[in-house]
Every structure is written in C-alpha cells, then in structure tokens.
Structure 1
C-alpha cells in the first residue's frame, strides 16, 4: 500500500515522559513496509504526538488572520476570540470520521481531576466536519480543520483527535492563560567564560501585588521555553530572591539554570514549486510519483562563525507556488536530506525541528556512508517552506544534541516565553496565571 510505504511515525509501547525522544533501535530501511504491530499501541500521550502513519502535516496555531499566523504558538488569553486552530492531513482516497475532546492537565501534563463541565460549557465531544479533499495531487489526501472550543478556566489543555472506537490520532498541547500576576522576562548577561559567547540567559521576575498568593516561593511554578518547544524547556526553577515587602519573586541564577544554547539560525529549504528547484533544493523531479526533491548537501557549522539571516525559528508553512492554497493544493514530495561529515557522529543523527514535532523520529534518521562521508535520508513532506537542523541522539530521555552539527552562538535570534502556574488553596488544579514572551536578538 502506497500510504504505508511512506509511513514512519513510531509509537512507543508505554507512556513516554515529557521531553523523551521518540526513537526506534531498529528502524526499517527506506521504502520498507513496517509490520502491523508497529502501530498497534495507541496509548494516549500527554504531549504533541501523531499516532497514525497516514496522518501528516499537523499544525496548531492561533488563527488571527494575520500574515504568518501559522508561526503563532497555541497560546491564548482566557476568553480570546478567535481561538486556536488545529489542521492536519490524512493520506488516502477516503475521508474518515473524527471527533475531538479536551483534557485539562496539571502543570506537569498529567490529567487534572476536574470534570468536563468545570472547564467547558458544552459536551466534550466535537465532530470534525470541516474537511476537504486534496486537489490535483499525486499523493491523495484529505485536509481537516478544527477550532478548539472556548474554556472557562486557564491552564494546560490537551486537544485529542480520535477515530472510531476512541482511538487517538493526533494530540496537541494548548495553553490558556490569565495575566493575574506581572511576569517580566528579559535577556540577561551570562556570567561565565566561554559560555557568554554560546549561551543565552533569560532573567525574569514575578510581581504579585494585585493578587493574594499563599506561600508563593513554593507554590508558584514556572516553565521557561525556547522557540515554544517543550523538549528542552526549563522546569523546577525556584526564586533566588523573595521580596515580601514588594510582593515580588526574582529569578537570577549563576549556574546557567536559566540559560539555553543559542544554536545557529535554522537551515531551510523551499519546495513550494515542483517545476523548479527552490532555495536549498538541488533538483526536483515533478514526473515522479510522488514528486522527488533532493536537497543541497549541507555541512557542519560547529566551527563556523555566526551567520545572520532571517529564519522561522524551526517552523514551517505549507504552500503551492503553482496553484496557491497550500491546505489542499500542495502536493507531497519525497525529500532527500544530505549532510557531509568526515566521520560518523557519536550517536544516531536525525533531521530535527517542527517538521518532526521536536522529536527524534525514525523517518528522519540519517544513514552514514563512510566511503562518501555523507549522511542521507528521506521523508515524505508536503510542499512548503521548512526550517530544520541536525541533531544527535544521546542517552534515552536526554535532550537531543543540536550543538554538534549546528554550533551555538549568543548572537542567534530566538524567541522565549515564560509560563507562570499557581494552584490556589482549596482548588484541584494548576492555573496558568501569567504569560510573557521576549525576543532575544530580535531583528524587528
């Protein structure tokens, strides 16, 4: 079956902890069909995850109607309209019936004890009726859209799409916040030697003069993210200064607890046209089924000086230059990645970014040819503009090593956001009472 030839998303056999890379120790060769049991386990994971091999091109963002709205993370103030939009494709020539539901979660992304009616004003089952067929594409698919329902309280939510029999198909994390505290987030200065050239530090403080918090030094919990990623987010950060008189918590660390590798601007390629090779593309063959696109060979940037250019912080957007409307007119292409390396890396190498849900997936694992000194791999991707980088897998549960091939620089442009949680006495869940974003080396 053509669909399974290109299927590649791995389901682990147990619930995977937050930030755990999704890998396989025995991936199938390119073009090799995976055994049926590969997708047998449909255990729901409380993270961004895709559970079926024919589900592709998942996007979850704030539908604002503004240019590049797909780059806006699924984070909205309580009561905001318009809200969060989920879109995805399902490969095949037959439409499917899907429903969705919301799960309210605690700060650690475990389901809270709230009942549905405590955070929703409607029945917690939403039939997805907005879907359209791909038009004139070699790879047949249906495009589905769902607008997340309005909720009554702030916090973490997991939006789950299910097929018949309540089998999960897609899950995405959503954030709904209130600005009940004053969260200030700003770029800081790294106190160190070489680290001041490679790391980016974020200093932040929380003012709670307008709200009564009980034992805020312990009960207030914060999460710090880079480019809206969950895989390398900072947790369990405790205030370094508690100023009771000013009703203020300050977080100023000296051991890099609040610092991230700046990395480099993301690599990119453009497959929005199938008639000509876009930027980053070596050659394209529109006659093949599916269309094939071979990317320019890349090289390591670990020892290179910082190179400034505009990127999308690891994101991607779908579009067709020939026909417009990437939702249903963009075709799928078999994209080949190439990375030159004089020797093999100390671990498996993967293409990494929003195109992989910030996870290490077998479809994006590269094979090393020692004779050619070249890593290669390919994946089925919808036409569009993509950001990505190369990551090396470490020990199970460790954050992927992007520095090995990408290098890291303090000058890199990145986006950071701060999440502030609190569980009021007598309540049964964590509320998201503060949210703030800041650009590091912003070009605007």
Structure 2
C-alpha cells in the first residue's frame, strides 16, 4: 500500500504544470534618486549593449547615511522568466558584491551620496551570454532596494528597421508602422515562427513595447515583417522639456523660483496639445542629462530642487488619473508622480524632487483599465520624431536559453509611405 501511495503521489506531482514567474523591475524607495543606467556607446536609460561591452549604474541615496549596497545579476529568457542557465554559465567571476565607489555631495542644500557601479570589474569580470538580464541592488539586510533591466546582444543577425506611415488609412496621420528585415550568414533560422522572437521598443520605454510578432514572410533565410497593425505604434508628440542647470535663474521653461529648505522651480503651465496642429520641437526622446552651471563634478555638485509641474486640462480630462513621466522615473506611473487637481487654480499639479539638469517629460492619462494613453493629452502625430529599437531573440531546437542575436535601430525623422 505504501508503495502504491508513493507512485500515486509522484504521478500527481508530475502532472502539475510548472509556471515560471515573470520578473518585473522593482521601483526604488523615495530616498533613492537619479538612477542613471547606461552602456558604453549609448546614453539612454535602457542599456542594450554588445557582448563584451560595459554597463555603468549610478544613483543617489538622499539619506546621508553612507549605506552599504550590494548587487546581484540574474539572467532571463525572452519573456522575463528565469533562464535555465546557472550563474557560472553566464558570468565570469561572481556577484553579490558591495558597491565600493561612492562620493558625498559637495556644497549642496540636499545632502546625498552618489554611488557608481561598472561591470565588468575585478569581481564580475564579464557576462558571457547574450540575452535579458536584471541588475538588482540590495541593502545590508539583503532586502532588494531596486532593480533594472538590461540586454546584451550578439552581432550574428542583421536587423533592418524601416519606419512607415500607417497602412491603416483610419490612423494614417496618427500612427507609425515598423517594418523589419532579419537575415544572418551564420545562423540558419529553423522553424522561425517558433524559434525567433522580436521586441520593438519606442523611445526606450518597455511599458509600450510590442513583443513576439511572428515573421510574416520567409525568403530563404531572410525574415520579413510588413504588417498593417501588429507593428504599429501611436505617433505621440514631442516631449516637453525644461533645464535648470542654473538653479537660481528662470528661463523659457521655468517661470519663477523660490528658496525654502531647497530650491523650488515652478514651470510654466502646460496645456493640452492634442487638439492643435503638430509643431516640431526637438527633444532627446524622453531622456535626461545631469548638468549644473559652474561645476566640474556635476555628479556630486549638482543640487536637488522641487520641480513644480502644472497642466491646464480640457473638459475631457476632469476627474482623470494623470501622471507626469519620462526616462527620469523609468516611465512609471505611481503615487509619487500622480497629478492632483487644484480647484483654486483650475490646473492639475505635481511636484517632483529632481537633480539639476535637462529633462524630457510628458503628461499621460491612465484609463480605468490601467492602460497608459499618451496621446490623450499630447496628441498623436505621424510626424513625431521617435526612436525605435528592434531586438531579435533566437532559441534553436534543443537550446537552453534565448540568445539575443541582433539589434536594429531607426528614427522616424525619415518616415516614408
């Protein structure tokens, strides 16, 4: 009887499906600010780097305690479920090390410690597999403080990216379509509908990325994507911007300044742009740059200021969930950057503590289904200058992880029909 019990129990365990959990980034606490995560050759806050290149993480801790922080690196498959690789298979050296490089702020009202981590380093000598990664930062109590995604790619596939106006005439003036050509001289794409996966990213925002679109045509070893709707993005509008490198002076974006415990920079009130004709306004695709006037080391000499945002709504935006976001907060929508309606002024308001610099930002609406509607306030225009990246993953039959075999990039400034 006991033998039959174990046989039955084993059969039940085997029959239970195992579902790997998708891992999401962790939002930092309020005392962790200005997370800058870049690669060698690009300054966007989503590192997509070539195998063998380095990544650099910087952030400020505003608690003035000179706390110790530690980092860990995990490898993931295309869908952000943990891969089957052991740490020794994707990493040369080891992680779980303390961040040893940090400096305290100098001559600032807001006291902070600035931390810097570069990989490879003497402990983590290199990451030796392509694919998706997560960099996780922990405190002394082994509690995760925040995490950030990054990707490492090989150069085994050529990825052509072409930005077109929408093929759906209903959205001809509002959407942009991404056409893709993938080819390789070193990889034979076996059963590409199952083994090849793509990720299309607009302005380094993973929240709006289009994933897992299958090849529409196969011409020999070339994969072609020319869809009408599946690879279309809303055009959006150019990002708004402000610069406060002179924290004491107003300019074309900053209306006036007040000094309390910290400087307060009040931006001019913005308005709903969706009902107006498109106007070209150069931006840096949602990014930000830390800079401060008359400083040699802006990473520790730039101060923090309360930035006051305000938006004059139209009738359609009353009693709605509106947020101000950009790459400076990883395109997140949370209580910290949610706008509150000021009845006395008739505007939505938000104040964010940001380090001196040049910032792109945008107002977005989150609907009742928790979907982000960027165009509800800014409008959608096919002329908008957007950056697009296409990541190509491949897992051959019998392979144990998803390789990132190629990356392509284009800009809609050269959009064609």
TM-score over 0.5 (shorter chain)? yes
Find the counterpart in structure 2 of residue 34 from structure 1.
Answer: none
Match of 2:111 among 123, 140, 149: 140
- Please give the secondary structure, in 2, of the residue aligned with 1:230: strand
- 1:98 lines up with 2:69 in the alignment: yes
Query: Which deviates more from structure 2 when the two are superposed, residues 186-195 or residues 158-167?
Result: 186-195
**Unpaired runs of at least 5, structure 1:** 1-16, 19-44
Query: Which deviates more from structure 2 when the two are superposed, residues 120-129 or residues 223-232?
Result: 120-129
C-alpha contact 1:345 1:392 (8 A) present in aligned 2? no
Cα deviation per residue 1:376-423 (whole Å; 9 max; x = unaligned)?
11111111111001001123452x111111011111111100011111
Superposed CA RMSD: 1.8
For 2:292 and 2:339, locate their aligned partners in 1 and report how far apart those are by CA, in whole Å: 27
Q: Which has the larger radius of gyration?
A: 2
C-alpha contact 1:132 1:328 (8 A) present in aligned 2? yes
Match of 1:258 among 221, 224, 231: 231
- Please give the secondary structure, in 2, of the residue aligned with 1:328: helix
Aligned length: 389
Find the counterpart in structure 1 of residue 28 from structure 2.
Answer: 51
With normalisation by structure 1, the TM-score equals 0.84
C-alpha displacement of 1:211: 1.3
C-alpha contact 1:101 1:124 (8 A) present in aligned 2? yes
With normalisation by structure 2, the TM-score equals 0.89
Question: What does 1:240-319 correspond to in 2, within 5 Å?
Answer: 240-243=216-219, 246-254=220-228, 256-285=229-258, 287-319=259-291
For 1:126 and 1:313, locate their aligned partners in 2 and report how far apart those are by CA, in whole Å: 34
- Alignment CA distance shift 1:278-1:318 (3 Å): farther
For 2:182 and 2:78, locate their aligned partners in 1 and report how far apart those are by CA, in whole Å: 17
Find the counterpart in structure 1 of residue 14 from structure 2.
Answer: none
C-alpha contact 2:162 2:178 (8 A) present in aligned 1? yes
C-alpha contact 2:237 2:381 (8 A) present in aligned 1? yes
Find the counterpart in structure 1 of residue 144 from structure 2.
Answer: 168
- 1:155 lines up with 2:131 in the alignment: yes
- Please give the secondary structure, in 2, of the residue aligned with 1:70: coil
Question: What does 1:266-415 correspond to in 2, within 5 Å?
Answer: 266-285=239-258, 287-343=259-315, 344-345=317-318, 347-398=320-371, 400-415=372-387
C-alpha contact 1:317 1:384 (8 A) present in aligned 2? yes
Question: What does 1:12-51 correspond to in 2, within 5 Å?
Answer: 45-47=23-25, 49-51=26-28
C-alpha displacement of 1:72: 6.5
**Unpaired runs of at least 5, structure 2:** 1-20, 121-125
- Please give the secondary structure, in 2, of the residue aligned with 1:118: helix
- 1:115 lines up with 2:86 in the alignment: yes
Query: Which deviates more from structure 2 when the two are superposed, residues 182-191 or residues 373-382?
Result: 182-191
